[in-house]
């Protein structure tokens, strides 16, 4: 049986939807566990308690389940690179693209093991306006945080974000013994790109490479711009062997890019060093080993990855 996946519904939040909450029709003549109006009133208070999108959607999922059996939901918001999965995945889905006055507020997908009927979809849609201002505020808050911790050119994390995140991850690895690896990578012959094609072209290359790197990584992995054409990839809970495979995949992904300038196809490659945390070394020691492995890769001919010793 094929999952029930309606074509992307576009929910435009407006006052008419809000005013119709008391008039949601029901085909049943038996009491239901909760009404849309009751849940709407409760959510109006509960969703004001946080600016964290994951907490807001967790509260919303709990409320939805009081009306409609739902296994889980997923949420995506491209501009802030936010991806959340709550509950359990299931084959039958209904998808909503949330908009307000032309502004995208993300894509929300409800999942469960059986098909949604029309009445259940109506109830889901009647609750969605509860998310309008709380979710929009959470996205604005997240965007402000990202702006303070993000490289303005590439969208990767900046040095401040890298220092904060790595300090926390090293402490967790030291305290709990969980694996942690980093990849230090550098664009090969990047100076010649700037010299030959100009700095605007070089900027486009850096942005394209950052996007390519992110596309090959898990949600929990992070990319930081270390400086110039040098990047650092943080691989949480990843031992050396797995990190080496990720590094090789990233090298191949960049090498296979088809970046075109006004003079035609521009080949791109990266050199990379891989280091895994060793108790009780410091963060500086971990980065120094990754950096040493990177320069070993460059000395050995570039376009390759080397493991730190």
pLDDT single digits (tens) 266-298: 899 999 999 999 999 999 999 999 999 999 999
Q: Examine the pLDDT at 15 and tell me if it is beyond 60.
A: no
Token pair for 95: 């998808």
Q: In the 8-state DSSP scheme, what is residue 156?
A: S
Count of beta carbons in the 10 Å neighbourhood of residue 233: 26
Please state, in angstroms and rounded to a whole number, the distance separating the CA atoms of residues 72 and 110.
6
CATH number for the domain running over 150-307: 3.30.70.270
- Which is it for strands 264-266 and 259-261: parallel, antiparallel or unpaired? antiparallel
At 183, is the secondary structure helix, strand, or coil?
strand
Of 169, 204, 229, 281, which is the active-site residue? 229
Q: Which helix (H) or strand (E) holds 75?
A: strand 72-77
What pLDDT, on the 0 to 100 scale, is given for residue 37?
Answer: 81
Rounded Cα gap, residues 29 and 20, in angstroms: 20
The structure tokens listed for 305 are 């990855």
What's the topology of domain 9-146?
Answer: Beta-Lactamase (3.30.450)
Our CA dihedral for 50, 54, 59, 62, rounded to 10 degrees, sits at -170
Measuring CA to CA, which residue among 173, 191, 195 is closest to residue 182? 173
What SS3 class is residue 221?
coil
CB atoms within 10 A of CB 215: 8
Active site residue 230: no
Reported as a single tens digit per residue, the pLDDT across 32-44 is 445 778 888 888 8
Domain locations in the chain as residue ranges: 9-146, 150-307
Tokens of 163: 């220092």
- Of the candidates 277, 274, 279, which has an alpha carbon nearest to the alpha carbon of residue 249? 274
Residue 271 contacts residue 304 (beta carbons within 8 Å):
yes
The pLDDT of residue 297: 97
**pTM, full prediction:** 0.64
**For residue 127, which of 62, 46, 63 has the smallest C-alpha distance?**
63
């Amino acid at each position: 049986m094929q999952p029930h996946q309606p074509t992307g519904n576009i929910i435009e939040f407006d006052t008419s939807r809000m005013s119709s909450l008391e008039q949601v029709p029901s085909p049943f003549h038996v009491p239901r566990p909760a009404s849309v109006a009751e849940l709407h009133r409760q959510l109006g208070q509960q969703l004001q308690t946080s600016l964290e999108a994951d907490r807001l959607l967790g509260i919303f999922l709990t409320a939805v389940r009081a009306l409609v059996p739902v296994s889980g939901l997923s949420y995506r918001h491209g501009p802030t690179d936010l991806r959340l999965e709550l509950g359990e995945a299931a084959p039958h889905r209904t998808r909503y693209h949330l908009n307000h006055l032309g502004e995208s507020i993300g894509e929300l997908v409800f999942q469960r093991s059986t098909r949604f009927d029309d009445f259940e979809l109506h109830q889901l849609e009647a609750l969605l306006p509860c998310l309008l201002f709380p979710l929009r505020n959470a996205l604005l808050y997240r965007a402000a945080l990202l702006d303070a911790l993000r490289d303005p050119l590439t969208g990767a994390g900046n040095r401040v974000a890298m220092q904060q995140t790595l300090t926390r991850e090293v402490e967790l690895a030291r305290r709990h013994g969980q694996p942690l690896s980093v990849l230090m990578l550098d664009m090969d012959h990047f100076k010649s790109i700037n010299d030959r094609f100009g700095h605007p072209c070089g900027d486009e290359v850096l942005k394209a490479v950052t996007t390519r790197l992110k596309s090959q990584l898990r949600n929990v992995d992070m990319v930081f711009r270390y400086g110039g054409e040098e990047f650092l990839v943080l691989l949480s809970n990843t031992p050396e062997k797995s990190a080496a495979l990720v590094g090789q995949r990233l090298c191949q992904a960049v090498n296979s890019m088809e970046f075109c300038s006004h003079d035609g196809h521009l080949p791109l490659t990266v050199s990379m060093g891989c280091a895994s945390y060793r108790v009780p070394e410091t963060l500086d020691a971990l980065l120094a080993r990754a950096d040493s492995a990177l320069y070993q890769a460059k000395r050995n001919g570039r376009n390759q990855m080397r493991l730190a010793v």
